[in-house]
Amino acid sequence: MVKFQWADPGFAAHQFFKSMTFEFKDNYMYTHSNAWKPALATLVAFTYAIYILAYPPKYRKLGIALLAIPVTYAFLWQSYLSASSSLNDTYGRFLYIWFANMSYEVTILEYSPRIVKENDGWKSRVREAYKVLFARAHSDKTVKGQTVPATRVPKHNYTKSQFLARHAWKTFSLFALQCAYGILTDLYINADTVYGADKAIFFRRLPASLNADELWDRTDLVIYWCVINMWMYESYHSAFAVFFVALGLDDPQDWSMTLFGAMSEAWSVRRYWGKHWHDYIYHSFSGHAKIVTRQWLGMRHGLARRLLENTMVFGVSGLMHSAVRYAQNGGMGGDCWVISFWYLGQMVPIVIEGVVQDLWARFKKQRGIEDTKWLVRAEKGLGYAWVIGFNMWSVSKYVHTRNDWADKAWRKKYAKKLKDWDAKREVNETSDIIDVDVGALGGVGEKSEL
């Protein structure tokens, strides 16, 4: 049963402070001797990327294939970068997002630096290449037949000091909120453990699945996925904004004030991904998808092409998340593939929403129903409930299915070792019993002699 419990304030404060410092280490694979490997490989990748951006090679695809070598090496060693598992996990995701963007820039948009000063040698080329090394620095225009929209985040007019102060505060406050929520759920909320393959099933277990522990578990998972992760990525974004602007590598106008769109925009699953969640992968992934649908398949503009392109974007994103998990645990029992199914499955609610919205729009038009303020609010309220409900169902289904697959794989992998261990334990227990019996008999004999 879920209930609130009081914890010692001093202990809670100590745990909070510990989670805010380097004293908190949850990655036991980390060693100083291995940390340099992914770090050095990443620096090599950055250096080579600058080179092929500044001096575009004749064979661009070959250039990207060569870039994949240090990126892949760093990706495989991602778990050894730092003592923080969440930091390493984000680092692994960054690598494939960054590599996809480099492939997009070099092979699809065929980026070439704009030379400002011909007599400036290599400096102008490198300076221009750096502008697209980590960011999409294009304005809203068409390049190589593809529309490259500008960032959806409005520009700001903050001075450098204001920019640094705001992002420094965001870095600290959002990281503190993450730690505070962890302390709250660990020390102050007491709930029975929800575990097992059956917990991935909700509707077929009704009404048994409508209990406080399971509902809290689903709520907690959604909060972590949709809110805590957002705070984490926003804090990383702000930390790097402070780093690059403070060192003079970037101007404040090169960075946005926020990584995500407003959560109030997410009244449908489509808008959740399109308006709220970060769009770092959208342009590079969709750019590659458009090559397949428009050039290779020759598909015409229409619903089928748009659905296929969106499905490919979600599918590739899922595969990349699977790759991250595989690099971390070796894909135990195929559990790494579950996240691919989850991402691909996002197209199901998106299609359902499209059909329902189209039918509802037609119904309103036939009946002459106007979009009043209260009707729009009711529609949005229903949309928010739909998004929250879908995430509570789908995220929980993913987590418990993944855990079940991993558990079965572990049992299968170590079945013989566990069997041998049980047999050895039985032998040791039998030996202990025999020793005790002999000792007891010996004691009786000695007393008898006396």
Please state the domain extents for the chain.
31-150, 414-449
Task: Could you list the beta-strand ranges (E) of 184-270.
Answer: 189-190
**pLDDT confidence of residue 118:** 61
Question: What is the per-residue DSSP string for 324-366?
Answer: HHHHHH--GGGGGGHHHHHHHTTHHHHHHHHHHHHHHHHHHHH
Burial category of 442 from C-beta neighbours within 10 Å (exposed 0-12, middle 13-18, buried 19 and up):
exposed
**pLDDT confidence of residue 432:** 57
**pLDDT confidence of residue 27:** 81
H or E stretch covering 252: none
Closest CA to 239 of 262, 263, 260, 259: 259
Name residue 147's beta-bridge partners.
142
Answer yes or no: are the C-beta atoms of 53 and 129 closer than 8 Å. yes
Answer yes or no: are the C-beta atoms of 65 and 107 closer than 8 Å. no
Name residue 4's beta-bridge partners.
189
Cα separation, 424 vs 120, whole angstroms: 75
Tell me the Ramachandran region of residue 52: left when phi exceeds 0, alpha when psi lies from -120 to 50, beta otherwise: alpha
Peptide bond into 252 cis (omega under 30): no
Q: Which amino acid is at 443?
A: G
Cα separation, 322 vs 331, whole angstroms: 8
Answer yes or no: are the C-beta atoms of 138 and 146 closer than 8 Å. no
Q: Phi/psi at 346 (nearest 5 deg)?
A: -65, -20
Burial category of 249 from C-beta neighbours within 10 Å (exposed 0-12, middle 13-18, buried 19 and up):
exposed
Could you read off the pLDDT of 305-319 as tens digits, one per residue?
999 999 999 999 999
**pLDDT confidence of residue 333:** 75
**pLDDT confidence of residue 342:** 97
* pTM exceeds 0.85, yes or no: yes
In the structure encoding, which two tokens stand for residue 428, read together?
């040791």
Per-position b or e across 285-301, b if 16+ CB within 10 A of its CB: bbbbbbeebbeeeebee
Q: Phi/psi at 278 (nearest 5 deg)?
A: -60, 150
Place of tokens 């959740």: 272
Answer yes or no: are the C-beta atoms of 310 and 353 closer than 8 Å. no
**pLDDT confidence of residue 433:** 58
SS3 content of the chain, % helix, strand, coil (to 5): 75, 0, 25
**pLDDT confidence of residue 142:** 46
pLDDT beneath 50, residues of the chain: 139-142, 439-450
State the angle between helix axes of 160-183 and 9-19 in degrees (0 to 180), rounded to the nearest 10: 130
Could you read off the pLDDT of 363-412 as tens digits, one per residue?
999 999 999 999 999 999 999 999 999 999 999 999 999 999 988 888 88
